[in-house]
Amino acid sequence: MKYSCGLEEAGPERASSISAGCSSANKKMTQQDQALKGRNPHIYNFTYSAITSLVLLWLLVACATASKTAAPKQIDLFLLIGQSNMAGRGPLDAAPKSPNPGIWVINSENQWVIAKDPLHFDKPTVVGVGPGLAFAERWLELNPKARIGLVPCAVGGSSIDDWQPGQKHAQTGIYAYDAMLQRVRLAQQKGKIKAILWHQGESDSNPTSNKVHEEKLDEFFARLRRDLDARDTPIILGTLGDFIVKKNPDALPINQIISSFPQNHPNVYSVSSAGLTHKGDVTHFDTPSARELGKRYAEKLWIVTKK
C-alpha cells in the first residue's frame, strides 16, 4: 500500500521533505509486508493495520506543519530600497527573539520565508539589522490583521545613478534597478505594494551630486511608479543621520531635498533620522537606531493612510 500527502499548501523545501518521507515509508512498508505476511498472515494483518495508522498520523502532522509554514496566499507588500542604511549594518542580536509568523520576506533565492534579520543580502559579510523588520513589527501592531511581505532590494554604497535601468553597481555587481523590478514582479503574484520605503543619499553627498540630486530623485520615482504600476502608492523617504551631516557638510543639501521633496510630490512623505546614533563608524545606524527609524517609517505610513 502506498501513502500520499496533499502538498499544494507547502513550500518547496517542506514539500520535498514530505515527499522524501512518503517514499521512504512506502519502501519500508513493502519490505515489511513481504517478510511478515509470509510468516504469519494473522499477525501480518494486525501489524499492517497498526503501521498504516502510524504512518497516516505522521503524514497528517507533516501536512499540518507544512500548511502552517507556507506563506499566505495574499499579503501586503512593502518595498525596501536605497543603500546600506536601508539594507542594515547594525550588529545582530546575540539572542534574537522568535520570528513573527505574520511577517514574511522574499529571500535571496526568491522564496517566501518568515522574516528575521538580516533581511538583505547585498553584501553578505557585513549585512545586519536595518529598519525593515522593525517597520513591519510596528505596522503589525497598528494593523493586527495584516499579513506583511517585505521585498528587500537595497544595495549598500549605491548612488542615485546606480538606480537606473541597466546600470551595474561597481561594488557589488548588482544591477540594482533591474534586480528590484524582477523581485517585485515575482512578489506581486502574492499581493499589492502598499508602500515604498527609501533611504539613500550618503553616496551623493558631494559638491557635484548634491546639486542634481533632486532632479534625479524626481526622475527615479516617476520611473519607479510607472514600472511598478504604483501611481498612488505612498513613498516614504528617510533623512540621513545627523552624524553624517556633522562629518560631511555636503550631506546637508541632501537632507534638505529629502525633507522638502514631499511638498511638490503627491503621495510622497519623509521621516527624520534626528537623534539617531551610529554604530561607531560615523556612517551606519546602530541596531537600536535602525529599529527606531523603522518604527518612524511605520508611524508615518499609519498617519498618512488614515487621512
Return the domain boundaries, the chain.
12-69, 76-305
Q: Do 296 and 199 meet the contact criterion of CB atoms below 8 Å apart?
A: no
E-assigned strand segments in 5-114: 76-82, 103-106, 112-114
C-alpha span between 307 and 295 (Å, rounded): 19
Q: 296 vs 28, 68, 136, 195, CA distance in Å?
A: 56, 31, 11, 14
Which pLDDT score, from 0 to 100, does residue 9 have? Answer: 39
Which pLDDT score, from 0 to 100, does residue 307 have? Answer: 78
Take residue 271 and report the three cell numbers written for it: 521621516
Taking 70 as the pLDDT cut, the residues of the chain under it are 1-68
Which pLDDT score, from 0 to 100, does residue 49 have? Answer: 59
Q: Which residues pair with 148 in a beta bridge?
A: 76, 103
Take residue 103 and report the three cell numbers written for it: 511577517
Q: How does pLDDT run across 77-126, given as a tens digit for each residue?
A: 999 999 999 999 999 999 888 999 999 999 999 999 999 999 999 999 99
Which pLDDT score, from 0 to 100, does residue 85 have? Answer: 98
CATH of 76-305, one of 3.40.50.1110, 3.40.50.300, 2.60.40.10, 3.90.1300.10: 3.40.50.1110
E-assigned strand segments in the chain: 76-82, 103-106, 112-114, 148-152, 193-199, 235-238, 268-271
Helix (H, G, I), strand (E, B) or coil at 61: helix
